[in-house]
Amino acid sequence: MFKRLLYSFMVLIALASIALGLYRFFEANDAHSSLAAMDIMIEYDGARQYALSNGDSSTTYYLFCTNNNDNCQYITNTLYSAVNSELKNKRIDDIVEYVNIQSLVDDGSIDRLSQEWNINNYPAFVSVSNNYGELTINNSLVWDDTNPLSSNDILNWLALNGQYDGEMIEEVLMP
């Protein structure tokens, strides 16, 4: 009787372990996993200094976003994968620096994006050049709720900035 009870207990533990393993394997991915795993996350107030620190005649590419914005999640979790599949020998994470603008959202000073970076919404990709200590905004690609960004839009923006060797995928107007 004791052996039967011990055997039943071992079978129960094995089944529970298998069930837990299957649950962990098939559980939904955390929406913040891609953003949380990003190597470099620049805080908004450090973005200007970061671009200046890259040296004279350098160009920096930014994605202005927040960790908890659904559109930012869509870009980093979905569109980045499609863009990375098109890029050769590099990843978009190596080209574009993530700038966390959560402090602007929390302070209610999101209008600083327009004043300082010439963008009126986020998420936004911005190309900025350092011309001997003077920052110049080259171009930007800004999220529009009526016409959301696609991976083709990002690839075209990268091509416009000389970061994508493929052909332009579709005609896109850059602001």
Counting other chains too, the contacts that 111-115 makes at CB distance below 8 Å and 24 or more residues apart are 112/44, 113/64
Say if CB 96 and CB 125 are below 8 A apart. yes
Instruction: Look at residue 63 and tell me whether its pLDDT is greater than 50.
Output: yes
Neighbours of 99 (CB within 10 A): 26
Domains of the chain with bracketed CATH: 33-160 (3.40.30.10)
Neighbours of 101 (CB within 10 A): 26
| H or E element at residue 87 | none
Tokens at 140, concatenated: 């930007």
pLDDT in tens, 99-140: 998 888 888 888 888 888 888 888 999 999 988 888 888 999
pLDDT at site 166: 66
SS3 label, residue 100: strand
pLDDT at site 175: 47
pLDDT at site 41: 82
pLDDT at site 127: 92
Instruction: Look at residue 43 and tell me whether its pLDDT is greater than 60.
Output: yes
Taking residues 93-98, report their average pLDDT. Answer: 90
Of 88, 104, 84, the closest CA to residue 34 belongs to 84
Of 79, 62, 65, 34, the closest CA to residue 130 belongs to 62
Q: Residue 28 carries which side chain, given as an amino acid letter?
A: A
Distance, in Å, from the CA atom of 63 to the CA atom of 53, rounded to the nearest integer, reads 18
pTM, two decimal places = 0.71
Residue located via tokens 């602007």: 104
Taking residues 32-41, report their average pLDDT. Answer: 52
Instruction: Look at residue 31 and tell me whether its pLDDT is greater than 50.
Output: no
**Beta strands 58-65; 96-100: pairing state:** parallel
Taking residues 85-109, report their average pLDDT. Answer: 87
Of 118 and 3, the one with more pLDDT: 118
pLDDT-based confidence at residue 44 (cuts at 50, 70, 90): confident
Taking residues 48-59, report their average pLDDT. Answer: 84
Tokens at 111, concatenated: 């209008």
